Amino acid sequence: MQDISSVQDISTDARERSWFYWFMVPIYPYRQRRTIRTEVVKDAVWTFDQLQGIFYVVTPIRMTVIKLDEGGLLVYAPVALTRECLRLLNDLVKVHGDVKYIILPTISGLEHKVCVPPFARKFSKARIYIPSGQWSFPVNLPLSWLGFPKHRTYLIDEQSVPFSNQFEYAKLGAIELGLGPFGEIALFDKRSRTLLVTDSVVSVPEVAPEIIQLDPYPLLFHARESAFEPIEDTEANRRKGWQRIALFTFYFRPSGLDIADLTPSVRDALKAPDRSKKAFFGWYPFHWKSGWSRSFEALRKYRLVVAPILQQLILNRDPQSVIDWADKVASWDFERIIPCHLDAPIAADGKEFRSAFGFLEKQCDRSLPNEDFGLLKAIEQGLIKTKITPPAQDKI
């Protein structure tokens, strides 16, 4: 059994958790970013969890730190470098050596990209590795203008990396989407048998992750049935709120959800018992139908799942390259997976990883409920009609 222990800073000083660059991606919890450090493999692998979301639809965002055989540390997918986060990281630096390599594993993930320059400045001797095809919106600026140090930033997919004795890596994409490509780097630590991925696969926990439980208000907000229902902190409400948040995260609007029109929802907000700013001034336009939880149960049917957004809008644009990438990653001898979001670590091997991409194949015996894809399919048609993205390709 893995010995997993979590550490969080007990300081109540808001300055310790303040993120100066929050305005670059102005989403909840805005300036304040708490951090939990978890030791996944003793003296070898650690995760640093923070929080992000919109309208209290919150999910973990995760950085992973791995001890190098040569001494020092590798950082995969940096998070917000608050004082708290830096203190928890420096605890490891004091024991295992300085940060030598910083990996930005995504092409398009702005929430990951904006966190790299502060890390690069703080660890001024570290080398930064990124996949090719980087882009920014609305103006595609040079990486040096975004804060990436020109003489310490390297493309991970164009050359032999200095950490190749300990790690395997494989690039997914770039998948062309119109505005810009999608891609990510999977990294396999052979010593700890740990696979790191960004967005490609996730696992949905039955209850909310620890970082979300620290402040349960988002869970309790979404556990309500109407704007008139008060916030009540119970274990059942935390669980119900998490299940609904997970469905929002994956589908935007699952089949079990109705959203009220603006006028009646505003009318209800004016009568709500809590019209504070924290409660969005009483606005709660959501109505969950009977049986909505079956969609959540479907997400948990398999240990690993590819997010419906990726299934419907991104990965099906180039299924063959995705399958080829999944085959390569599945050939590695890992025993756990750490994604950048939702649950981690996930006890899974190459066979389970490869099975998650069966939705791209004609002979597929696992799928999510078709009715939950309604809004995503409508978005897809709109993107194709306006020629923002190309149409999906046939299954393999």
From residue 17, alpha-carbon distances to 91, 109, 135, 259 in Å are 17, 22, 29, 34
Torsion of the alpha carbons at 170, 176, 346 and 88, rounded to the nearest 10 = 80
DSSP class of residue 199 equals S
Report helix, strand and coil shares of the chain as percent, to nearest 5: 35, 20, 45
Q: Is residue 62 within 8 Å of 47, Cβ to Cβ?
A: yes
Q: So where are the chain's domains?
A: 5-203+306-355, 219-298
pLDDT value of residue 238: 98
Q: Is residue 112 within 8 Å of 81, Cβ to Cβ?
A: no
Which helix (H) or strand (E) segment holds residue 262: the answer is helix 262-271
Q: Is residue 198 within 8 Å of 184, Cβ to Cβ?
A: yes
Q: Which residues contact 216 (CB under 8 A, 6 or more apart)?
A: 208, 233, 238, 241
Give the CATH fold of the 5-203+306-355 domain: Metallo-beta-lactamase; Chain A (3.60.15)
Concatenate the DSSP letters of all residues of 27-73 into one string.
Answer: -BTTTB---EEEEEETTTEEEEEEEEEETTEEEEEEEEEEE-TTSSE
Q: Residue 99's beta-bridge partner residues?
A: 73
Q: Is residue 200 within 8 Å of 186, Cβ to Cβ?
A: yes
Whole-angstrom Cα distance, residue 239 to residue 248? 14
pTM of the predicted model as reported, rounded to 2 decimal places: 0.94
Please report, as a single letter, which amino acid is at residue 202: V
Three-state DSSP class for 321? helix
From residue 204, alpha-carbon distances to 138, 288, 372 in Å are 32, 20, 16
Residue 83 CA to chain centroid, in angstroms?
22
Q: Is residue 52 within 8 Å of 103, Cβ to Cβ?
A: no
Three-state DSSP class for 195? strand
Burial group, residue 207, by CB count within 10 angstroms (0-12, 13-18, 19+): middle
Residue located via tokens 């990653």: 329
Report, as ranges of residue numbers, the positions in the chain whose pLDDT lies below 50: 1-3
Whole-angstrom Cα distance, residue 376 to residue 364? 20
Please report, as a single letter, which amino acid is at residue 183: G
pLDDT value of residue 146: 83
Three-state DSSP class for 251? helix
End-to-end CA distance of the chain: 38
